[in-house]
């Protein structure tokens, strides 16, 4: 779920006063009519024609307005500056996948010149609009937030049914806005919270529509958050957690998963899955995760049916969908699994932020993934290899204690292993860390900084390949 945010232009995103002063002064000189440039620049916001009507006969206004715009386009726009926080505000929206539209009383052409002069890129510009008229453009664009510096910007937001965010950077404070900021420097932080609120509300609505749910609960931060959200939306009696038990599950994860489900009042099941019976999984080619997830869903779907639950849900998030090579997502989709976190647009960082809000113990839990992800592609997955990696990681984590955040022992084949750790833990690892991993049967052990999906490098096409 992405948002469209509308912004007013003058004195909201950009300060055009210097350009307006110089252009009005030139216009005044050309016309031979006194126009106080400082006064004009002090009350930007209303349509230009309304301002010029204060100084010129009505019949002279249209031609004077056209000439002013020519002067602004020629040189006045060069004097524009971005207001504090404007660039960051636009970036916050667009980097989240949202759209930025500018709705202004200025002509669209002059607005484009002014925005280009300060380096602000937007998705659409609507010009010649004022007060309630802005609301129609905002509604057509699907904008749910409108940011402006004038009371009439609030009216435009109201017409569109959008949230009105006012800034005190203009001549007239939009006191009736839903929220009033001194300037746009606080916008990015506000937007992060607002976007999270919107996506959480969307998640709740989706979960309520699903009715009942079996959650594929690995115990990680994503599936834990989904389980908590489902329990909140549907009640714990309409939700069941299922943690698949197999050699690919780190043994320390199961008690923690059971405790978490119990803290929510949710029933916790531990069905066994037999990935090792699938040749494609054991072969450990690039599609291993497909076979793993297929096994999981082929186990959970009949279980959900037997329990009278309408859907099986996975903790796939919005980042997962754009993370590149994720064949497991395709396997789950083929088998009808629902992905509420993804559908609500929730990213990994948002899931962690919301988990902190709710006081979930998993908020800062490091990503773990299944043990098979530690085995290099092409090296057959066996129960003994999975167990060895689990023992090595457990021993290494015990050795490093609270120093370690991210930890992987990668089985590279031929009894070679690579320890991957976050930088602080890597400094503390030393010879003793190598020794505890060698004690599990690895004859060659190296170290590296942890990098998620590092084994996927072997799947990358060679340089220059089509």
User: Percent of the chain scored above 90 by pLDDT?
Assistant: 76
Q: Are residues 172 and 318 in the same domain?
A: no
142 pLDDT band (50/70/90 cuts)?
very high
CB atoms within 10 A of CB 151: 18
Q: What is the pLDDT of residue 218?
A: 93
Q: What is the pLDDT of residue 323?
A: 60
* 279 pLDDT above the threshold of 80: yes
Q: Which residue has the higher pLDDT, 327 or 236?
A: 236
| Cross-strand pairs, 213 | 239, 311
Q: What is the pLDDT of residue 70?
A: 84
Q: Are residues 8 and 151 in the same domain?
A: yes
Mean pLDDT of the chain: 92
Lowest mean pLDDT among 184-188, 200-204, 233-237, 404-408: 404-408
* 462 pLDDT above the threshold of 50: no
Instruction: Kindly report the length of the chain.
Output: 466
Write the CATH number for 61.
Answer: 1.10.150.240
Question: Is residue 104 a part of any domain in this protein?
Answer: yes
* Helix pair angle (17-31, 61-74), 10° resolution: 130
* 49 CB-near residues (< 8 Å, 6+ apart): 61, 62, 65
Q: Are residues 376 and 301 in the same domain?
A: no
* 334 CB-near residues (< 8 Å, 6+ apart): 294
440 pLDDT band (50/70/90 cuts)?
very high
* 332 pLDDT above the threshold of 70: yes
Contact 261, 217 (CB under 8 A): yes
Question: Is residue 204 a part of any domain in this protein?
Answer: no
Across the range 100-129, mean pLDDT stands at 93
Question: Is residue 336 a part of any domain in this protein?
Answer: yes
Write the CATH number for 320.
Answer: 3.40.50.620
Task: Quick: pLDDT tens for 209-259.
Answer: 999 999 999 999 999 999 999 999 999 999 999 999 999 998 889 999 999
Q: Are residues 70 and 112 in the same domain?
A: no
Q: Are residues 174 and 88 in the same domain?
A: yes
| Cross-strand pairs, 413 | 416
Write the CATH number for 405.
Answer: 3.30.300
* 246 CB-near residues (< 8 Å, 6+ apart): 272, 273, 274, 275, 276
Contact 320, 326 (CB under 8 A): yes
209's tokens: 């529509």
Exposure letters 341-352 (e unless 16+ CB within 10 A, then b): bbbbbbbbebbb
Across the range 247-276, mean pLDDT stands at 94
Q: What is the pLDDT of residue 460?
A: 56
Phi, psi torsion values for 149, nearest 5 degrees: -110, 5
156's tokens: 């435009």
Contact 28, 34 (CB under 8 A): yes
Question: Is residue 387 a part of any domain in this protein?
Answer: yes
Q: What is the pLDDT of residue 465?
A: 36
Q: What is the pLDDT of residue 261?
A: 97
- Domain boundary, last residue among 308, 335, 357: 357
Q: Are residues 155 and 8 in the same domain?
A: yes
Question: Is residue 206 a part of any domain in this protein?
Answer: no
First to last CA, the chain: 33
Q: Are residues 8 and 147 in the same domain?
A: yes
* 286 pLDDT above the threshold of 80: yes
Reference 250, options 403, 365, 418; nearest CA is: 365
Q: What is the pLDDT of residue 86?
A: 98
CB atoms within 10 A of CB 5: 30
Phi, psi torsion values for 460, nearest 5 degrees: -70, 140
* 193 pLDDT above the threshold of 60: yes
User: Percent of the chain scored above 70 by pLDDT?
Assistant: 97
Supply the range of the domain harboring residue 147: 4-12+80-194
Question: Is residue 382 a part of any domain in this protein?
Answer: yes
Reference 347, options 316, 318, 315; nearest CA is: 318
Question: Is residue 224 a part of any domain in this protein?
Answer: yes
* 25 pLDDT above the threshold of 70: yes
Q: Are residues 279 and 290 in the same domain?
A: yes
* 88 pLDDT above the threshold of 70: yes
Reference 434, options 413, 412, 411, 409; nearest CA is: 409
Domains contained in the chain, number: 4
* Helix pair angle (187-210, 348-357), 10° resolution: 90
Question: Is residue 71 a part of any domain in this protein?
Answer: yes
225's tokens: 């958050």
């Amino acid at each position: 779920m992405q948002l469209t945010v509308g912004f007013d232009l003058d004195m909201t995103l950009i300060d055009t006063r210097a350009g307006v002063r110089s252009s009005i002064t030139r216009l005044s000189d050309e016309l031979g009519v006194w126009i106080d440039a400082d006064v004009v620049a002090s009350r930007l916001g209303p349509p230009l024609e309304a301002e010029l009507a204060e100084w010129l006969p009505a019949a002279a206004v249209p031609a004077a307005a056209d000439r002013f715009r020519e002067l602004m386009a020629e040189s006045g726009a060069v004097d524009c500056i971005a207001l504090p926080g404007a660039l960051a505000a636009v970036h916050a929206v667009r980097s989240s996948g949202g759209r930025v539209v500018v709705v202004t009383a200025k002509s669209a052409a002059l607005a484009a010149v002014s925005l280009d002069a300060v380096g602000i890129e937007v998705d659409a510009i609507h010009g010649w609009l004022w007060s309630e008229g802005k609301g129609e453009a905002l509604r057509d664009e699907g904008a749910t937030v409108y940011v402006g510096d004038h009371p009439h910007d609030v009216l435009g937001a109201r017409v569109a049914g959008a949230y009105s965010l006012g800034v005190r950077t203009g001549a007239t404070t939009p006191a009736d806005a839903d929220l009033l900021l001194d300037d746009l420097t606080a916008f990015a932080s506000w937007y992060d919270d607002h976007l999270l609120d919107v996506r959480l509300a969307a998640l709740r609505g989706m979960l309520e529509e699903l009715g009942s749910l079996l959650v594929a609960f690995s115990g990680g931060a994503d599936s834990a958050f989904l389980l908590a959200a489902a329990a909140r939306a549907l009640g714990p009696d309409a939700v069941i957690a299922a943690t698949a038990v197999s050699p690919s599950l780190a043994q320390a994860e199961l008690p923690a998963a059971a405790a978490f489900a119990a803290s929510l009042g949710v029933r916790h099941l531990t069905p066994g899955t037999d990935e090792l019976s699938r040749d494609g999984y054991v072969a450990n080619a690039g599609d291993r995760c497909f076979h793993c997830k297929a096994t999981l869903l082929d186990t959970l779907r009949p279980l959900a049916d037997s329990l009278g639950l309408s859907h099986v849900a996975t903790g796939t998030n919005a980042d997962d969908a754009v993370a590149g090579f994720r064949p497991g997502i395709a396997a789950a989709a083929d088998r009808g699994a629902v992905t509420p976190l993804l559908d609500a647009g929730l990213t990994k960082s948002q899931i962690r932020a919301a988990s902190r809000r709710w006081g979930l113990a998993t908020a800062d839990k490091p990503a773990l993934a299944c043990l098979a992800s530690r085995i290099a592609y092409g090296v057959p997955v066996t129960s003994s290899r999975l167990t060895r990696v689990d023992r090595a990681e457990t021993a290494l984590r015990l050795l490093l204690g609270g120093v370690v955040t991210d930890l992987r022992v990668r089985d590279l084949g031929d009894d070679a292993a690579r320890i991957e750790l976050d930088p602080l833990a890597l400094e503390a690892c030393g010879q003793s860390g190598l020794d505890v991993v060698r004690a599990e049967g690895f004859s060659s052990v190296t170290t590296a900084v942890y990098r998620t999906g590092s084994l996927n490098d072997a799947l990358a096409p060679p340089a220059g390949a089509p």
